[in-house]
Amino acid sequence: MLGTPMFAFLGASGYAKKPDEQGLPLSDSVRRALEAVNSRRESLRECVRSRSGSTVSLDSLVAIFADTSDRGGWKQFRARYPEAKSFVLVSRPLLLTDSLALIYVARASDWLDGAGSIVALRRDATGRWVRKAQAFLWVS
């Protein structure tokens, strides 16, 4: 499954409905293009300016969740980031047109609490990107 942070889950399964059944038709070529654009990961540190969150490197997350004894990963995550309820992985955008883009978002909150989806964003008349549609790919 595209971008599933399996290091933070006990298990995950595909979503019951396909993206087109959720209002977001995706051709195989578009899905492959989204995967190709995200074949390497990059930090969002430079583009995320949030008062309610912080950026953490993927290497740091993987290291935190490497402790599988007694499900130690989430305990370590919460000890290191006590204000955080979850973490989110966001892909690089795939620009389909100058006003339509796709991103992949994975959210994890515990060993069996997370989801991954593709989000279609449309640029409005003011230049702001707005969510047009969302299709879930997996749940945990």
5-19 pLDDT, tens digit per residue, is: 666 666 667 788 889
Tokens of 59: 């290497």
- For 88-132, the three-class secondary structure string (H helix, E strand, C coil) is EEECCCEEEECCEEEEEEEEEEECCEEEEEEEEEEECCCCCEEEE
Helix (H, G, I), strand (E, B), or coil: what is residue 79?
A: helix
| Amino acid 135: pLDDT | 93
| Amino acid 16: pLDDT | 80
All structural domains of the chain with their residue ranges: 6-139
Q: pTM (2 decimals)?
A: 0.82
| Contacting residues for 16 by C-beta, under 8 A, at least 6 apart | none
| Amino acid 91: pLDDT | 86
